[in-house]
A = this chain, B = another copy of it.
Amino acid sequence: IVGCWAALATADDPLPSWNDGAAKQAIIDFVAKVTDEGGPDFVLPEQRIATFDNDGTLWVEQPMYTQIVFAFDRIKAGAADHPEWKTTEPFEAVLANDYQAVFAEGEQAGVKLLMLGHAGMTPDAFEQIVVDWLATAKHPRFQQLYTDLYYVPMVEVLQYLRANGFKTFIVSGGGIDFMRPWTDRVYGIPPSQVVGSCIEVKFAEVDGKPTLMRLPQANFVDDKAGKPVGIQRFIGQRPILAFGNSDGDFEMLEWTTAGDGPRLGLIVHHTDALREYAYDRDSMVGRLVRGLDEAKERYWILVSMKDDWKKIFKFEQN
């Protein structure tokens, strides 16, 4: 096997942080065939739409989704003004950093939490809060800024696809306004190519000044069956390639790969407890069950972090 792939490891390898293997080859083969103008699988550039989940696909999501850490910090920051929170759930559990207790209620708890401290200000003010938080908050294990915890191999895929005429989009269950302030800088994906969950925003003239205000009310949850809906609404085209990591991405991969012509579905499988984390079926965060069971029959590529990625983070010593 090594000898077979070794020929490809040239100086202009588009995916240098990937180990040679079936996953890397599948990506390269796919790009080659959809860009082969004379070939049977050629896809016009304007139809080369690729969608990527964010948490656990492009950046770390363990031990807890970054936006939840942010939401907890927002509540902690407000706690001084709310002494009653010390004895009121979910605040009590938040102040104790008890993710399990907060999420015992189920997903609704997460949605409710995301509202707290995410509404009642303008989009500009919220963006500043996000930017300020990301400038200092550090990951508990890696002690790095969260925006430095993107996966190098995935950014290579994004760049490789764009270099081949693809338009790359994020389609994430996370909050759209939590991602947009930094995705262009980190992934090269501008705000208008970020699809995510969103809350209601209201326009009003305040003292003659046009103003947008964020309301504590969900508008759209971009997860599971919401992902194909979000793709239709925001992008308006069916992707030909989709990359996810959990069952929240199942319907996106299903929708993507059920289209006519060449299609590629990929799943980042977190198999590397040493360099990152190892989790799937039993994880509270990024649970992957159906995708794991059905990947093979659906011809979706399981990307093993441990085996397929030579390097995961930019701060790793090589």
Contacts and interface: CB of A to CB of B under 8 A. Distances in A.
A141 interface: no
B235 A192 contact: yes
A234 B194 CA distance: 9
Contacts of A193: 192
A296 interface: no
A161 to B, nearest CB: 15
A288 interface: no
A78 B39 CA distance: 42
A226 B203 CA distance: 7
Given A191-B236, A193-B192, A234-B234, A229 B202 contact: yes
Given A192-B235, A192-B237, A201-B229, A209 B169 contact: no
Interface in A225-254: 225-226, 228-229, 232-237, 251, 254
Nearest to A228: B203
Q: How many copies of the chain does the oligomer comprise?
A: 2
A191 B258 contact: no
Contact of A46 (B190, B203, B210): B190
Interface string A107-150: 00000000000000001000000000000000000000000000
A235 B192 CA distance: 4
A292 to B, nearest CB: 19
Nearest to A214: B232
B201 A232 contact: yes
Contacts of A169: 192
Contacts of A177: 236
A191 B237 contact: yes
Interface in A204-237: 204-205, 209-210, 212, 219, 225-226, 228-229, 232-237
Contact of A228 (B191, B210, B235): B210
Contacts of A190: 46, 167
B212 A229 contact: yes
Given A190-B46, A192-B193, A234-B192, A258 B209 contact: yes
A255 B203 CA distance: 9
Contacts of A210: 228, 251, 254-255, 258
Given A46-B190, A190-B46, A198 B233 contact: yes
21 contacts: A46-B184, A46-B190, A123-B232, A176-B233, A177-B236, A180-B236, A191-B235, A198-B233, A201-B233, A202-B229, A203-B229, A203-B251, A203-B255, A205-B254, A209-B258, A210-B251, A210-B254, A210-B255, A210-B258, A212-B228, A212-B232
Interface of A: 46, 123, 167, 169, 176-177, 180, 184, 190-194, 198, 201-205, 209-210, 212, 219, 225-226, 228-229, 232-237, 251, 254-255, 258
Given A210-B251, A219-B233, 7 more contacts: A167-B192, A191-B237, A192-B192, A192-B237, A201-B232, A203-B228, A234-B234
